[in-house]
């Protein structure tokens, strides 16, 4: 599977000398006012200096060490860490970043405890769907619902009508569709290695699994490059806020490299 290693922002790096830090898709790091972090445990990942007493940050420049460089900034803000730990930025070594980015804008069903709760979230999200677009979501797992019950297209039809709805399962191996979404495929559902769940009358219930799920996703769920780009810009900020400075993106099948190239 094609993947790319991408830097999301300049990583924190404790150095004994000031050195410029750069990276693709840089965010707020170049706009940060000079600040000194002190009185904490600063892990450097450098065997010659495992911990530093202070850390100075000024735009693209980061310095830390034994207490000289990090006090050289003119009138910096000082933050007392009060013994808290500072770590370098994390690299996520396996992430489907464009997929994750889009997911931040979808209805989230991961912690729903019943089918009714899941439907309530879909109903609330439907109010914000623009005409002519899909209602997308993810995270459901019917085995987690009490009582356990399999979802059907009719339940989504009652909420969304002619608006296509596609809700990926938590493991991304199943998708729950309404009738409007199924109509987009015009019967093109069964593929080798796929499962199309059928009701007692032999009609699709709205749940596709494995290869049928992925075939439908790739062929019929419409997400434009611009939508991916907009979502990724917001997701980079979210990842940075959680301490992630770089990723190994596994969405090569999606063409993720062209998104990253446009972001640079």
State the pLDDT confidence band at 59, using cuts at 50, 70 and 90: confident
Average of pLDDT values for 43-71? 78
In a domain, 236, yes or no: no
Domain that holds residue 62: 4-88
In a domain, 227, yes or no: no
Name beta bridge partners: 140: 169
Has residue 96 got a pLDDT over 80?
yes
Calculate the average pLDDT of the chain: 85
Same domain membership, residue 79 and residue 102: no
The domain tally of the chain equals 2
In a domain, 230, yes or no: no
Tokens of 46: 């450098």
Same domain membership, residue 56 and residue 124: no
In a domain, 151, yes or no: yes
Same domain membership, residue 150 and residue 59: no
In a domain, 241, yes or no: no
More confident residue, 36 or 153: 153
In angstroms, the CA 217 to CA 53 distance is 51
Write the DSSP symbol of residue 194: E
Has residue 24 got a pLDDT over 80?
no
In angstroms, the CA 188 to CA 264 distance is 38
pLDDT in tens, 148-180: 999 999 999 999 999 999 999 999 999 999 999
Q: Which of 22, 56, 88 is the last residue of a domain?
A: 88
Same domain membership, residue 79 and residue 108: no
Give the model's pLDDT for residue 25: 39
Same domain membership, residue 134 and residue 20: no
Q: Which long-range contacts (CB under 8 A, 24 or more apart) does 130-134 make?
A: 133/163, 134/163, 134/164, 134/165, 134/166, 134/181, 134/221, 134/222
Average of pLDDT values for 199-208? 97
Same domain membership, residue 111 and residue 216: yes
Same domain membership, residue 104 and residue 84: no
Residue 150 has, within 13 A of its CA and on its CB side, a CA count of 14
In a domain, 248, yes or no: no
Give the model's pLDDT for residue 98: 94
> DSSP letters of 55-98?
EEEETTEEEEESSSGGG-SSS-EEEE-TT-EE-PPEEEEEE-HH
Same domain membership, residue 68 and residue 17: yes
Same domain membership, residue 203 and residue 135: yes
CATH number at residue 9: 2.30.40.10
Same domain membership, residue 176 and residue 142: yes
State the pLDDT confidence band at 20, using cuts at 50, 70 and 90: very low
Same domain membership, residue 121 and residue 36: no
Is the Cα dihedral 62, 67, 68, 73 positive or negative? positive
Q: Which of 70, 88, 106 is the last residue of a domain?
A: 88
Give the model's pLDDT for residue 15: 26
């Amino acid at each position: 599977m094609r993947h790319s290693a991408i830097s999301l922002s300049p990583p924190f790096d404790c150095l004994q000398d000031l050195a410029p830090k750069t990276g693709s898709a840089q965010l707020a790091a170049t706009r940060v006012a000079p600040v000194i972090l002190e009185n904490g445990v600063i892990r450097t990942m450098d065997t010659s200096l495992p911990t530093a007493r202070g850390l100075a940050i000024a735009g693209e420049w980061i310095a830390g060490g034994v207490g000289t460089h990090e006090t050289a900034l003119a009138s910096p803000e000082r933050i007392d860490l009060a013994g808290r730990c500072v770590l370098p930025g994390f690299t996520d070594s396996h992430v489907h970043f464009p997929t994750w980015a889009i997911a931040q804008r979808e209805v989230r069903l991961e912690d729903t405890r019943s089918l009714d709760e899941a439907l309530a979230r879909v109903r609330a999200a439907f109010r914000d769907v623009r005409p002519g677009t899909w209602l997308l979501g993810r995270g459901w797992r019917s085995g987690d619902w009490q009582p356990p019950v399999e979802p059907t297209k009719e339940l989504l039809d009652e909420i969304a009508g002619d608006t296509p709805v596609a809700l990926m399962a938590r493991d991304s191996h199943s998708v729950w569709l309404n009738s409007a979404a199924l109509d987009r495929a015009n019967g093109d559902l069964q593929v080798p290695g796929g499962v199309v769940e059928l009701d007692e009358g032999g009609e699709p219930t709205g749940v596709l699994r494995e290869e049928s799920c992925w075939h439908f996703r790739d062929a019929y769920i419409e997400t434009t490059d611009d939508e991916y780009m907009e979502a990724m810009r917001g997701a980079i900020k979210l990842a940075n806020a959680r301490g992630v400075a770089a990723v190994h993106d596994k969405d090569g099948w999606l063409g993720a490299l062209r998104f990253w190239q446009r972001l640079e």
